[in-house]
Structures are given as structure tokens and as C-alpha cells.
Structure 1
Amino acid sequence: MLNNKIQWFPGHMHKARKEIEEVVPKIDVIIEVLDARIPFSSENPLISSIRKDKPCVKVLNKRDLSDPEVTQLWIEHLEKEQGVTAMAVTTENPEEIHKIMEVCRKLVPHREAMGKNVRTMIMGIPNVGKSTIINTLAGRTIAVTGNQPAVTRRQQRINLQNGVVLSDTPGILWPKVENPHSGFRLAATGAVKDTAMEYDEVAFYTVEYLAKQYPERLKERYKLDELPDNDLELMEAIGRSRGCLQAGGRINLYKASEILLHELRSGVLGQVTLELPEMITEELIQVEIDAARKEEEKAKKKEERRKRYLKNKR
């Protein structure tokens, strides 16, 4: 089930990355918007390499949808990185959004002392709420918003008239999501198009995690006395609860999957975070092991080809 790796790097994203790299030397503070439900999986590893030693404010957006205790753990975890300040916000509260600019000004006090604007750049993968944050900061509709990923296609520079200039960037994903768990979480929260992965597989992965971390939420929402032992039976129970029936009394698992993911994304299931800092450490170790194994297999096949070639040459 965890063989799926998202590869989603449209041409405009490749172009955007090159444009961002050209502009970054003139920027004072990088703002990276993350999804508070998946702070690691929505973090773009390309941004760390692009920003180099620039101060960075990591904004965990959609905090109203995430588990508040886990969100605090993530803030503490992210701030262990040199030059990083982390904060949780919701676009439902404009005051929280405006505090982002206060944090940016404090990180580079010399700019204000010189009477110059603080030059910021806001980044983030698609569908983390970056455009809504920009519109709130600007006090008017500047960035296009939408539930579909990859709405913003070009850079724009916005003078916020408060001593801060904000450069917007297209939502960029990296060429390949190496951690398969991250692929499923990105799909579960809607950061990538639903066509990028099998919809029901994403729901099965998600419900298995929810059964471990938030069993009471599932019981309450889908009126279940007990949770079945495996993901298939659990998805069937959810489908039965919500009337996803087909001819012969069979459960329409695709429809049940749609309901589960929609209710997760909209917050109907309550405040849920899909990953913990300690989980990520284990997953990244496994990614390294898998990568080393693949390299070993690749080298082995190459050696076998070389031996066959030499044998045929004799």
C-alpha cells in the first residue's frame, strides 16, 4: 500500500523555483506557510536550500483544524532549526495573521532602524492557505484563492504599507515526495489533486491512523460502539453508518472514502493532526534504508550486466 510516491512537478513550478532563487538574495525574511495538520509533510525541503541562512518564519496555518497539543509540539520541534521562528494561526482570526508581520519586523530590526522596508517572501506548497493569508495582510483581494492546488502561477510584489513588502510565489512542490507516508498525508488534506493518488487507498491509510490516534472521534462521528480490527472492516462500518450501500447490500467503499476525507478536511471530525515529530524520525530512517537498498540492488544489476557483457565478448 505504501508504494505510491507523488511525482508532481509541473513546468510552471520548475520555472517558479528558478525565479525564487534569483530573488532570495534581496529578501530579508522568508515566510513558509505550513498546514498545521501535517507540518512535516507540508514543509518543502527545497525551501531550506533556497533560503540558506535567511531568518524564516514557519506559519502553521489551519490551527483550528489541528490538534492543539500536537501543534505546540511541532512549534517546539521546528524552532530547533537555526534561524527558524514558528507560530500557529488560523485565517478565521485576522489578528493572528497580522502578527506574522510583527514577527518579521522583530527578526530584522536593523531594517526599520535604517528607515527601510522589511523585504519578505511568502512560500508554501499548494492549498495551505497562503493566498488567504496574503489577502488578509493586504486588506484586499490580491491573491486568487481556491480549494484546488496550484492556483497561484506567478510571482507578485505587494507593498503592505506598514513597513513590509511581501513577495508572493507560486505554490511549489518538490520533484518527488520520497517519504510515502507524506504522500498519503498530502493527499488526505487535499494538498495535491485527488487524481494524483488512489482515493480509496488514501482513505484506508487515513482511517488506520485515526483509529490509533483518535478512536473516540471515529466512534462518535460514525456512531460505532467499537472499532473493527482492520481498515477494510472499519471503512465498511463507516460506509454502512452513512448509507453507502450498493445492490446486494455491498458497501460502496469509494463513496465511504469520499465522506471520510471530506469530513477530515472540513474539520467535521474535530481537531486532528496526522503526524507527530517522533513519527517522522522513524519514517526518515526507513526512507534512508529503502534508498540504500535500492542503490544496492541497482549496483548489483549493473554488475550482473557487466559480467554478461564480458562473457558474451569472449
Structure 2
Amino acid sequence: MTITMERPPGRSAAPPPPGRRRPLRSRRDNLAGYLFLSPWLLGFFLIIGGPMVASLYLSFTDYSVLGTPEWAGTDNYERMLTDDPRFWASLTVTLTYLLASVPLVQVFALFLASLLNRGIGGLTFYRAVFYVPSLIGGSVAIAILWRFLFEGDGLLNNALGSVGVDTSHSWIGTPDTALGTLVVLNVWQFGAAMIIYLAGLRQIPAELYESASVDGAGRARRYWSITLPLLSPVIFFNVLMNTVGAFQAFNTAYIVSNGTGGPADSTLFYTLYLYQRGFVDFEMGYASALGWALLVLVAAAAAGLFALSRRVVFYGDER
């Protein structure tokens, strides 16, 4: 007599024991994945990770590039905070540049994106024209052109002189106006932020504006109550990226000031001062300490923006 055991209803058969080839196949898949990732992993450890670890070590040493690093403990950081007025000057210049240029970039970019979003003709042409400065604005050629534009006998003074305005001083040679010329250059490169704003504006449903119009909301009210809240994640992204970019600004200040940060350290950006210490004075240990201090500053600024975003950034899925 044969006894047949039936499975209880609702239960599936037990899975078959794993075959011998499955672990081998899994290892092969993992190996293939790491093989495809190897260019990125090599680039990270050789170009980013390795130099970061080396610079962290050098920041605690007295290293002149030509000699052997000598352990100095926290001397570089103590010198930076207590006995280096140019460090504080460079930090002040950088923060002034950041606080002046980042908001202006957002205002210009959002204003023009709002105009282009109204359905004007030739949208593709205008997008390309406004985006071009973002592509070439950080180049050495544009920095040299900017210097020619704002020198004492530059194009700006010649143009003002042709209409009877007597301006003989150099805009980039006067401490009160030198940093302002670099702020104008950064604002001129608003095209990338404008494209992002335009993409965000085109994602806002038109039905929301129609419903608000039916309820009697005017254009200003619709912009304040609908556009800005729904665009706040895009605004946050642009502000964050422009803030990080402002901390890293270097090319324009180096070219305009001939690498000095002048006049009177008025264009001495933090990165330019770091470059002077490391590659002009050959104080690579101190320059490494400046680099890690910059990393802490950027991280603190990003953390502050993320903390603020919890209150001012609106996401559509929030309840």
C-alpha cells in the first residue's frame, strides 16, 4: 500500500536545494560588476582618495615640497586661526563674494527663466544664447577679456568716456571695486541656473494657475503661492551648487590680479591664498591644512543649507 502525503492548502512546495553552480555564477556576476566598476574605483583611490589621505597627513607636518615632511602636530591649524591675518582676509573676501553673487545669480536666472516660460518665440535660440556664458565664463580667455574690459584704459572706461563720463581709474585696480567686477562676472554666468529653473517651471501643472485665477488670485499672488513653493527644491539645488562653486572660485581672481589677490588683498579668494602658500611659498603642509579647513567650511555651509531646507523647501508629496 502506497501512502501519499498531500500538502496543506495555501503552502507551496519547499524550494529545491541550491545547485552547485549557483554560488559560482553569483561570484562570476560579482566579479563582472567589480570589473566594470574598476575604472571608477581606480580613479577614486588614485586621484581622490589617496591624495586626500596624503594631504590630511601633510596638514600636520612642516613640508616644503623639496624636503622631507616633519611632524608638527596642530601647529599649522593654530597658526591659521591665531597668527595669519591673510587667512582671515581671504575668508572675508570669499564670504563677501559668496553672499553678493549667489543671490544675484538666482534673481537673474529665475527672472529670465520666468520670461522664457511664457511661451515666447525662439525659445531654443534664447536658451542657447543665455547658456553660452556658463560654458566659457570660467575659462582663462574670459578672465583675460574681463581684465581688459575693466582696466583703466579698458573698454568700459572708453565707452563711458565717449558719452562724456570722466572715469580714469581702473575698476580692477581699486580695492573698493575690484571684487565687484568678479561678482559681475559670476552673475554673467547665470545661464546654467536659468536652464534648471526653466525646466522646473515647465513641470508645474497649469491647472494650479487656472484654479487660482478662478478663485481671484492675481499674477503676483499666483507666483508667490504656487510658483515659488513648487520651485523651492530647484531653488535649493541651485543655491547649494552655486555656494559650493563660490567657495572654489579661483581662475578669475588669479588672472585679474596676476596671482596676487590684489589690490590690497581685495580679490584674495581662499583658493588663491591656498595656491600661494602651497605653490609659491612652498609651504605644502600649511596649504594642506588650509585645504582641509576649506572642506570643513563647505561641509558646514552645506549642512546649514540642508537644515534650512527643512523649513523652506516644499515637496509635492508632503502631507
TM-score, length-scaled by structure 2: 0.21
Bigger relative CO (Cα 8 Å, ≥ 6 apart): 2
Which one has the bigger helix percentage?
Answer: 2
TM-score, length-scaled by structure 1: 0.22
Which one has the bigger strand percentage?
Answer: 1
Instruction: Name which one, 1 or 2, has greater alpha-carbon Rg.
Output: 2
